[in-house]
Amino acid sequence: MPRRFPLWLMICSTLSGCMVGPDYQLPSLDTPADWHEAKPKDCPSKMEQSSYAHSMSFGGHSYAQDAVPAGCATRSPQGVGWWQDFDDPVLNDLVERALKNNENLQVAAARIAEVRGLRESANAALFPHVDAAAGSQRGNPGVTTLGGNVSVHQAAFDAAWEIDLFGGTRRQVEAQDALIGAREAAYRNAALSLSAEVAREYVTLRQFQAQMTITRQTAQTQHGLYDIVQDRYKGGLVSTLDVAQAETLYKTTLAKLPDFEQQIKTSSYRLSVLLGENPGNLDKLAADSAPIPVANRLPVLDAPAGIIRSRPDVAEAERNLAAATASQGVAISALYPKVSLSSMFGIQHAAWPVGHYLSTKDIWNIGGNVSMPILEFGSIEGQINAANARQVQALHQYRQTVLAALGDVETDLSNLTEESRRHKLLHDAGSSADHAVNVAKDRYGNGLVDFTTVLQAEQQRFGVQLDLAASQSAIAQDIIALHKALGENPAPSQQQ
């Protein structure tokens, strides 16, 4: 930006209020036409869905299956939070409480109010400022009053106005408007992240509860096996080795319970903090087991460009870019003259000792001032260069946020697809493990195999059961992550 500027630019600025600096334009992005990973399929009709409704069980444990096929997608009703797709009243209550009371969310709301205040302050600079002042003095100026005292009383109104010829103040207001948008988007992003974090922690808690239930039931089964082996030992049919192995299996399984208990407590404490409540408030939730929540639907995926527009973190980055662009104009405006007008109107009353003379007069002045930088040794250029660099940073941050958003969706789609495949394989493995345990017990009872075969079959089944519960939890968490990646904000009633 040159130091000197032509006369026509001054005339243009005076008559029409020109604004220096670049006008903001949304950067163009080369987003793909569609997603690389396979999208969830649309949901079938209700009649078709009934053919998919089923449940599976093995090892004495039941695992509920989706009422719709894996990958089925449909849109949630308007104004309904995405977490309600799980049809879990406890989850609904937890998310609602978190959105109401979470401390970090309250901080995000206060930051919006902060920027709105700064915007009001910046906008006020566009208008004249009027001040009222009054004063009274009494003293002895010296020989001019022949040794007497003088009293002077004055009241006046002062007005001052710096004319925004080159748009520096308007650019500042523009930047604050953009920052308000950025803070509002940050609030929506915080609410989205909070709701997802609450849901994921809740699913984790239910996973540990399910695994603890499996462990207790497995230990009970293994204790029964231990009793059988002891009876066979008393009858002289087996050695003490079988008894020791059965007892080891049983007590090793029992030893896993304290770990699950601790994990459940940890999840409940984390949930309490997310809800803005004291740790320990959710002891009843931790104590009352319930199934791992299953989503009734998956979100419908729009084209990548549409998803980008709905992500609050992308909106925040875009508004920060707009603010940085406007700030370039603020810095550039410092190169140009500043014109200010001032006036004062009031009244003055004076009492002189000579002849007891009293005087009351109207007082006023009107003036103007023009100033511009002449020699500042690169200070303004440095500010302009810094503003330009901040705009470049904001541009690259915006582009990086867009790329990260696309990557989040692709990753979560892939995770959900692969975990669904793993879940099916674990189900099949569980059925096989059930069969293996039954065969091993029969052959052991007939003396065809040693007790080690039974132990291995029991351990394999137990491991598969724990893995299946973890997989069911992982699917729920992948769905939650996908909702977050798509930028599905909480219901409008929950937003600032």
At 5, the pLDDT band (50, 70, 90 cuts) reads very low
Domain co-membership, 418 together with 477: yes
- Within 239-345, residue ranges assigned H as helices are 240-254, 257-274, 283-287, 304-310, 312-333
pTM of the model: 0.83
Q: Is residue 378 part of a domain?
A: no
Predicted pLDDT at 65: 44
CA count, 13 A, side-chain hemisphere, 237 = 13
Residue 134: CB partners within 8 Å, gap ≥ 6? 154, 155, 156
Last residue of a domain, one of 348, 371, 394: 371
Cα angle: 260, vertex 472, 62; to 5 degrees: 85
Query: Sorting pLDDT into bands at 50, 70 and 90, what band is 495?
Result: very low
Residue 13: its pLDDT value, please?
47
Task: Flag whether pLDDT at 373 surpasses 60.
Answer: yes
Confidence of residue 426 (pLDDT cuts 50, 70, 90): very high
Number of domains in the chain: 2
476: closest CA among 53, 54, 63? 63
Which domain, by its residues, includes 104?
18-126+164-335+384-494
Asked if 468 and 346 sit in the same domain, the reply is: no
The DSSP string of 97-150 is: HHHHH-HHHHHHHHHHHHHHHHHHHHHHTTS-EEEEEEEEEEE--SGGGTT--E
Q: Are residues 457 and 393 in the same domain?
A: yes
Per-residue pLDDT at 352: 63
Enumerate residues 6+ apart whose C-beta is below 8 A from 407.
none
pLDDT one-digit tens code per residue, 171-201: 989 999 999 999 999 999 999 999 999 999 9
279 and 134 assigned to the same domain: no
* For residue 493, pLDDT beyond 50: no
Determine, yes or no, domain membership for 4. no
Q: Would you say residue 5 lies in a domain?
A: no
CA angle 131, 137, 140 (to 5 degrees): 150
Q: Which of 325, 347, 371 is the last residue of a domain?
A: 371
Q: Distance between CA atoms of 459 and 189, rounded to whole angstroms? A: 44
Please write the tens of the pLDDT for every residue from 303-322: 898 888 889 999 999 999 99
Hey, how many other C-beta atoms are within 10 angstroms of the C-beta on 418?
12
Exposed e or buried b per residue across 288-315, where buried means at least 16 C-beta atoms within 10 angstroms of its C-beta: eeeebbbbbbbbebeebeebbeebbbbb
Residue of higher predicted confidence among 420 and 7:
420
Instruction: Give pLDDT, residue 21.
Output: 87
What is the pLDDT at residue 344? 81
Domain membership of residue 58 (yes or no) is yes
Question: Do 321 and 393 fall into the same domain?
Answer: yes
pLDDT digits (tens, 9 = 90+) for 384-417: 999 999 999 999 999 999 999 999 999 999 999 9
Q: In terms of pLDDT, which residue wins out, 108 or 202?
A: 202
Task: Give me the pLDDT at residue 162, please.
Answer: 79
pLDDT tops 60 at residue 491:
no
Which has the closest alpha carbon to 60: 458, 470, 473?
458
Q: Are residues 389 and 473 in the same domain?
A: yes
Residue range 289-297: average pLDDT? Answer: 89
* Torsion angles phi and psi, residue 412, rounded to 5: -70, -35
Supply 373's token pair: 């930088």
Q: Give the per-residue pLDDT at 492.
A: 47
Q: pLDDT category, 141, cuts 50, 70, 90?
A: low
- Is residue 127 scored above 90 in pLDDT? no
In the predicted structure, residue 276 carries a pLDDT above the cut 60: yes
- Helix H or strand E encompassing 468: helix 451-485
Establish if 182 belongs to a structural domain. yes
Encode pLDDT of 338-359 as tens digits.
888 888 888 887 776 655 566 7
- Whether residues 277 and 152 share a domain: the answer is no
- Average pLDDT value for residue range 25-39: 87
For residue 8, tell me if it sits in a domain.
Answer: no
Q: Are 200 and 477 in contact (CB under 8 A)?
A: yes
How confident is the model over 112-118, as a mean pLDDT?
87
pLDDT at 375 over 70: yes
The C-alpha atoms of residue 267 and residue 204 are separated, in whole angstroms, by: 7
For position 63, what pLDDT does the model report? Answer: 47
Contacts of 398 (CB under 8 A, 6+ apart): 27, 314, 317, 318, 320, 321
Which tokens is 223 given?
């204790």
Q: Which residues contact 173 (CB under 8 A, 6 or more apart)?
A: 119, 122, 123, 126
pLDDT band of residue 449 (cuts 50, 70, 90) is confident
Token pair recorded at residue 148: 């007497």
- Residue 125's pLDDT is what? 76
Mean pLDDT of the chain: 83
Domain final position from 347, 371, 395: 371
Contact 295, 479 (CB under 8 A): yes
Which residues on neighbouring strands pair with residue 361, listed in sequence order?
Answer: 348
Cα 217 to the center of its chain, rounded Å = 40
What letter would DSSP give residue 355? G
Range 128-149 average pLDDT: 69
CA–CA distance, 380 with 386 (Å, rounded to integer): 10
Torsion angle of C-alpha atoms 5, 7, 9, 12, degrees rounded to 10: 160
Do 263 and 280 share a structural domain?
yes
pLDDT at 111 over 50: yes
Q: Residue 371's pLDDT is what?
A: 82
193 within some domain: yes
CATH of the domain at 364: 2.20.200
The pLDDT confidence band at residue 148, using thresholds 50, 70 and 90, is low
Q: How far apart are CA 239 and CA 254, in angstroms?
A: 24
Q: Is the model more confident about 22 or about 66?
A: 22
Residues 194 and 306 reside in one and the same domain: yes
pLDDT at 342: 81
pLDDT reported for residue 49: 35
Q: Answer yes or no: is 186 within a domain.
A: yes
Same domain flag for 360 and 213: no
51 band by pLDDT with thresholds 50, 70 and 90:
very low
- The band of 48, judged by pLDDT with boundaries at 50, 70 and 90, is very low
Residues 135 and 76 in one domain: no
In the predicted structure, residue 269 carries a pLDDT above the cut 80: yes
Beta strand pairing status for 41-42 and 129-139? unpaired
- CATH assignment at residue 205: 1.20.1600.10
More confident: 3 or 351: 351
pLDDT 10s digits, 230-261: 988 888 888 899 899 899 999 999 999 999 99
DSSP H helices, 311-445, are 312-333, 379-445
Portion of the chain with pLDDT greater than 90, in percent: 43
Strand pairing class (41-42; 72-73): parallel
Q: CA-CA distance, 325 to 330, in Å (whole number)?
A: 9
Kindly state the DSSP code that residue 29 receives in the 8-state scheme: -
Q: Are residues 157 and 169 in the same domain?
A: no
Instruction: Report d(CA 193, CA 87) in Å as an integer.
Output: 20
